[in-house]
Chains A and B, each alone.
Chain A
Amino acid sequence: MPYTLTVNGSERSLESRDPDQPLLYVLRNALGFTGPKFGCGLGQCGACTVIADGSPIRSCQLPISAAQGMKITTIEGLGTIEKPHPVQAAFIEEAAAQCGYCTNGMVMTSAALLAQNPKPSVEEVKQALAGNLCRCGTHDRVLRAVMRASGRQKT
């Protein structure tokens, strides 16, 4: 069956014979957006986070059929190597990316948070990132990066 999605501002068409296929696999395999990461496929880690119609969601739980018509932003569409998004720049400066595999989920969730709440408190950032696991132990670094991107410093 044909599907049409809007990814990072452009309309993308694809064929899938699995209407229940999670958006994550469509993005990574069919469309080549490997920024969203495959950390579990179980909705447990948050590494696959994309922004769908303005809200961060787990793309491993969103069927392609339900993603039809949504505006999807992946990390590839957030900023560029030449002009990174403030959250991306802050993640580099604060060394918040270690192995880099949870980074997509952390960055996308933080970017969505700051879009809605430009000056969050430390507690609000922790609450927003509650659904994102990290195994390298970058938690403190990530928190500092989000506060930096918001123009505040973590005390």
Chain B
Amino acid sequence: MAPYIGTATSRIDGIAKVTGAAKYAAEFNVPGLLHGSVVTSTIAKGRITRLDTSAAMRVKGVIDVLTHENRPPMADNDQAYKDDVAPPGSPFRPLYDDKIKFNLQPIALVVAETSEVARFAASLVTVEYEEVAHVTDIFAARDAAVPIKPPASPVGFTPPKARGQPNRALARAAVRHEGEYYVPIEHHNPMELYGATVIHESDGKLTVYDKTQGVQNVQRYLCGVFGMKPEGVRVLSPFVGGAFGSGLRPQFEAVLAVLAARALERSVRVVLTRPQMYALGYRPAMVQRIALGADADGTLDAIAHDAVTATSQFEEYFRQETGWSGLLYKCANAKYEHKLARLDLPTSCDMRAPSAPTALFALESAMDELAVALELDPLELRLRCYSERDQNHDRPFSSKALRECYRQGAEAFGWNKRNGAPRSMRDGSELVGWGMATGIWEALQMPITVRIALTANGSAEVACATSDIGTGTYTIMAQVAADMLGLPLENISIKLGDSTLPNSPVEGGSWIAASVSNGIATTVAAVRNELLELAKKVPNSPLANAAPDEVKLADGMIVDERDGSRSVSIADAMRHGGVERIEQEETTNPTADDSRARNTHSAVFAEVKIDEEIGVIRVTRVVSAIAGGRVLNTKTASSQILGSVVWGIGMALHEETLIDHKLGRVMNANIAEYHVPVNADVHDIKVIFVHEHDDSNPLGVKGLGEIGIIGVAPAIANAVYHATGKRVRDLPITLDKLHP
């Protein structure tokens, strides 16, 4: 039987998704289901002085209107609202009191017999406020921004320690570049609206279908907020219509739906509106200053990276915004500073490769500017600055095939035909620009538990409480299990997205593929050992003397690896052992080895064609060469990278959450005016996976969910410079920014 790992296997959930059979959180219907419509604040900061729900209550079909004044009890301490991935601070509490902390904050829930009635009645709720001056502009809050100081937690996200003598190195550098770069607030905008269906079971227990990247995180959080016992709440999320980080933390739709279900002892669904999705987290706006100093031969000698990022007034969200700079390139002297600007907005949060696309927009734009100053090809500059070690922590990489990414990417793109002079390449009336950038991300693995139940007929159920947010988790789990159990793919069924299943971390950070595939490997080993014990009981067993690590499972058999003719079928082993079903559950902890850095890398090459008179930019070609360890499924992995490149195009040219700072309100809180690329904006994208062997985990998997977006926006911005001679340092590069 040919292996499934590494092949272009079609999604096992594909048929459910293309026929409408796949059910998402707001699609579980039960008799008597009530519908909640959320009323949200129209001011950014202050206090509710009067909340009149009487008109809404009079609408026929309205059951109740819940507010901070009449809601049932909720926890009164921050700890209860802390979820698994909460940043430091005091988490937001939906419908808790009269305080308004951001615009679009939920302030009431209208519960009615139909969604239309709930929606209409919600518009009849009237609110009076006492307003307080607010700040929503990062540039206004910049001067008051506060440095992140170690030992702030979470550990690992504080800027790395400075090394060498960066100030002196910058002062003596033969060539220097210094620039300020800006990336605006961006929103995830998954296609599926946040929604939760809470089913009030006859025994009073709650079954919660929620849109989330972590069912167990939501379950623990709900237990904390409502003081419920874990066995009383089950959270499910079998399919997720995109999340991109917005579903890592529990969101308020689940709290409100559970609140109503408990208050009314009825089943309740709450679905947010598209504008209300802008009350969830966002990629923080980021203002960065980068200073680079180089020798005349194009080797970096100094990096200084200062960043200011946005967070709310009540929590401190940040990631490793500055540290990427000193990690990516060889440079003896480096220093970092990271400050937080507090705004009257919801707390910022993880969004596809948190911190890296924004940080590397600055770094990789600056490197391109340095190459111009050095009169050096931008790819050649990267090669001269190639780092064989993680200098932030002075350790080697577990593997790093970035050099090969540069080589294969450049070759596929035709980089050697580039004329380095800006404005030197044309196609008819259009200017042509070629730009490139590097990407880097972490290769993480988290503790995870996997249960496998194997039946004598050779079918297996693999269970873990992880999520599939569209990445292909169902499919890679089935591939890995099929190969390791030696069974056909169609004999494997996958259970995930259910808080009652064995423990899993939230799905994010690109760590699920590595975690769950190696988790399956561990549990399969336990299954194999049990099967071997059974096989030894078969009369005249050919495996009587085999040790567990000498056998494998293949083609429905337990096979001696040293002599393939010595084997016992799974069916025989189980029949002789008198068992119909064996079940194993194992927890896999990644090795706690800090002696090596684990990262994925990419080289991104982009071509733009620009209609200069009107500033229209088309990204006509992108080549993304990825070094991400072992690729479990070339089809789903390519999809991850293709999709990431589209995100990068959006980040470069379109995406920006626009805030009316006077009102403290998002102006483009919908997907007509928050622009993402449409079909006709997406052209030729080529994905290359370079070979990279990594022994950090048995399967050699690094994870590919995020690396694809990193480096795309700067590659495009650098191509725009090459085409036009104009350097745009603030994203997105809209049409008028290229206009004279």
Residues of chain A at the chain B interface (Cβ within 8 Å): 16-18, 21, 25, 28-29, 32-42, 44-45, 47, 74-76, 78-81, 84, 88, 91-93, 95, 97-104, 107, 126-127, 129-130, 132-143
Contacts and interface: CB of A to CB of B under 8 A. Distances in A.
A80 B19 contact: yes
A39 B676 CA distance: 14
Interface stretch (B225-233, B413-421, B635-643): B635-643
Given A37-B192, A139-B682, A143-B679, A98 B672 contact: no
B640 to A, nearest CB: 8
B700 interface: no
A126 B679 contact: yes
B191 A88 contact: no
Nearest to B13: A100
Contacts of B114: 16-18, 21, 25, 29
Contact of A97 (B17, B638, B672, B679): B17
A41 to B, nearest CB: 7
A46 to B, nearest CB: 10
Interface string B468-485: 011100000000000000
B351 to A, nearest CB: 12
Given A99-B241, A130-B678, 10 more contacts: A21-B116, A38-B192, A42-B274, A44-B671, A80-B19, A95-B11, A97-B14, A101-B470, A107-B18, A133-B676
Given A75-B19, A126-B680, A133-B676, A18 B274 contact: no
A138 B242 CA distance: 12
Interface in B210-258: 239-242, 244
Contacts of A16: 114, 116
B296 interface: no
23 contacts: A34-B23, A34-B24, A39-B191, A76-B20, A81-B16, A91-B14, A92-B18, A95-B10, A98-B471, A98-B639, A100-B22, A103-B17, A104-B20, A107-B18, A133-B191, A134-B679, A135-B188, A135-B242, A135-B676, A137-B643, A137-B677, A138-B642, A139-B678
Contacts of B469: 99
Contacts of B120: 18
Contacts of B471: 98
A122 to B, nearest CB: 10
B271 interface: yes
A38 B270 CA distance: 13
A136 B635 CA distance: 14
B679 A34 contact: no
B671 A136 contact: no
Contacts of B680: 126-127, 130
B18 A103 contact: yes
Nearest to B244: A135
Contacts of A137: 642-647, 677, 682
Nearest to B684: A140
B117 interface: yes
B666 to A, nearest CB: 14
A141 B638 CA distance: 10
A100 B10 contact: no
A32 to B, nearest CB: 6
Nearest to A90: B18
Contacts of B117: 17-18
Given A33-B20, A97-B18, A140 B685 contact: yes
B78 interface: no
B642 A88 contact: no
B192 A99 contact: yes
A81 to B, nearest CB: 5
A136 B678 contact: no
Nearest to A89: B18
A35 B193 contact: no
Contacts of A84: 15, 18-19
A141 B10 CA distance: 13
B357 to A, nearest CB: 14
B546 interface: no
Given A132-B679, A139-B682, A29 B29 contact: yes
B242 A136 contact: yes
Nearest to A97: B17
A138 B190 contact: no
A131 B16 CA distance: 23
Contacts of A33: 20
B271 to A, nearest CB: 7
B189 interface: yes
B49 interface: no
Given A41-B274, A84-B19, A91-B14, A101 B242 contact: yes
B26 interface: yes
B115 interface: yes
Contacts of B569: none
A21 to B, nearest CB: 5
Nearest to B475: A95
Contacts of A36: 20
A88 B273 CA distance: 29
Contact of B670 (A17, A21, A42, A143): A42
A99 B274 CA distance: 18
B592 interface: no
Given A38-B26, A81-B15, A97-B17, A141 B191 contact: no
B252 to A, nearest CB: 18
Given A102-B191, A139-B679, A74 B20 contact: yes
A85 B19 CA distance: 9
A44 B274 contact: yes
B19 A39 contact: no
A139 B19 CA distance: 19
B116 A18 contact: yes
Residue with the greatest number of chain B CB neighbours at <10 A, chosen from A101, A132, A141: A101
A34 B636 CA distance: 25
Residue among A25, A84, A129, A137 with max Cβ neighbours from chain B (10 Å):
A137
Contacts of B29: 29, 32, 34
Given A41-B274, A92-B18, A141-B639, A99 B240 contact: yes
A136 to B, nearest CB: 5
A140 B642 contact: yes
A121 to B, nearest CB: 13
Contacts of A47: 191
B1 interface: no
Nearest to A25: B115
B380 interface: no
B19 to A, nearest CB: 6
B514 to A, nearest CB: 20
Contact of A101 (B11, B18, B190): B190
A140 to B, nearest CB: 6
A99 B190 contact: yes
Contact of B11 (A28, A29, A32, A97): A97
Contacts of B644: 137
B27 interface: yes
B677 A101 contact: no
Nearest to A47: B191
A103 B639 CA distance: 14
